[in-house]
């Protein structure tokens, strides 16, 4: 049952939603898919336990839901508050993975990206202080990744993205 629900949630989000995303008049159907997927994801999250592979899947799915709900950088359903809530769920999962003793490079890169998505959502609500605080959590992680892996373009990209997001937020706050 658990694996069936896991597969269904993934299918709703990644297959069905993506196939109707650009259809004119599909917004009500996209909203229904997101609502159902969230219900499935919340149930899965309650049963996930300490399985890292499942936590990674859930975090990615919550981020996808957040993007569809209200990521200000993409076409979305206009539900910024819902997006922020979904990004917070993803962040809790990502933070647990990155804090784990066996955390890998990808877990830390994904954590910085999730912080940034949450920050963009907060910025879209003009909550620039919360946006800045969120980015201040991502920045040192990305900075350590870049310093520790100077030859890794993914580490450098993560640091550049965190730096750019921080600069953009400070500019939005009038701190040029």
* Residue 25 burial (10 A CB sphere; 0-12, 13-18, 19+): exposed
Q: What pLDDT shows up at residue 8? A: 73
Q: What pLDDT shows up at residue 125? A: 95
Q: What pLDDT shows up at residue 171? A: 95
Question: Do the Cβ atoms of 66 and 87 come closer than 8 Å?
Answer: yes
Rounded CA-CA distance 44/153 in Å is 34
Q: What pLDDT shows up at residue 101? A: 63
Cα 24 to the center of its chain, rounded Å: 26
Residue with tokens 């949630």: 9
What sign has the CA pseudo-torsion 128, 65, 152, 102? positive
Residues near 53 by Cβ (< 8 Å), separated by ≥ 6?
Answer: none
* Residue 123 burial (10 A CB sphere; 0-12, 13-18, 19+): buried
Q: What pLDDT shows up at residue 2? A: 65
Per-residue pLDDT tens, the chain, 176 aa: give them. 667 667 777 777 777 877 887 888 888 888 988 898 898 888 888 887 788 888 888 999 899 999 999 998 888 899 999 999 999 999 999 999 998 766 789 999 999 999 999 999 999 999 999 999 999 999 999 999 999 999 999 999 999 999 999 999 999 999 99
Which pair of structure tokens corresponds to residue 142? Answer: 């990305």
DSSP-based three-state secondary structure for 132:
helix
Closest listed residue to residue 114, CA positions, set 129, 130, 134, 132: 134
Q: What pLDDT shows up at residue 48? A: 74
The dihedral formed by the CA atoms of 64, 66, 69 and 73, expressed in degrees to the nearest 10? -90
Q: What pLDDT shows up at residue 1? A: 65
Closest listed residue to residue 63, CA positions, set 45, 39, 89: 89
CA angle 155, 158, 164 (to 5 degrees): 140
């Amino acid at each position: 049952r658990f694996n069936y629900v896991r597969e269904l949630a993934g299918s709703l989000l990644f297959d069905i939603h993506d196939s109707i995303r650009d259809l004119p008049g599909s917004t009500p159907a996209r909203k229904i898919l997101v609502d159902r997927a969230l219900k499935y994801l919340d149930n899965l999250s309650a049963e996930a336990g300490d399985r890292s592979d499942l936590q990674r899947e859930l975090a990615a799915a919550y981020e996808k839901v957040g993007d569809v709900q209200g990521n200000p950088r993409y076409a979305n359903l206009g539900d910024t508050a819902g997006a922020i809530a979904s990004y917070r769920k993803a962040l809790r999962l990502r933070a647990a993975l990155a804090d784990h003793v066996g955390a890998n490079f990808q877990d830390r890169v994904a954590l910085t990206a999730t912080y940034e998505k949450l920050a963009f959502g907060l910025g879209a609500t003009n909550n620039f202080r919360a946006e800045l605080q969120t980015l201040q959590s991502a920045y040192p992680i990305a900075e350590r990744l870049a310093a520790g892996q100077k030859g890794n373009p993914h580490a450098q990209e993560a640091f550049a993205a965190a730096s750019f997001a921080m600069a953009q937020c400070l500019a939005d706050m009038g701190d040029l």
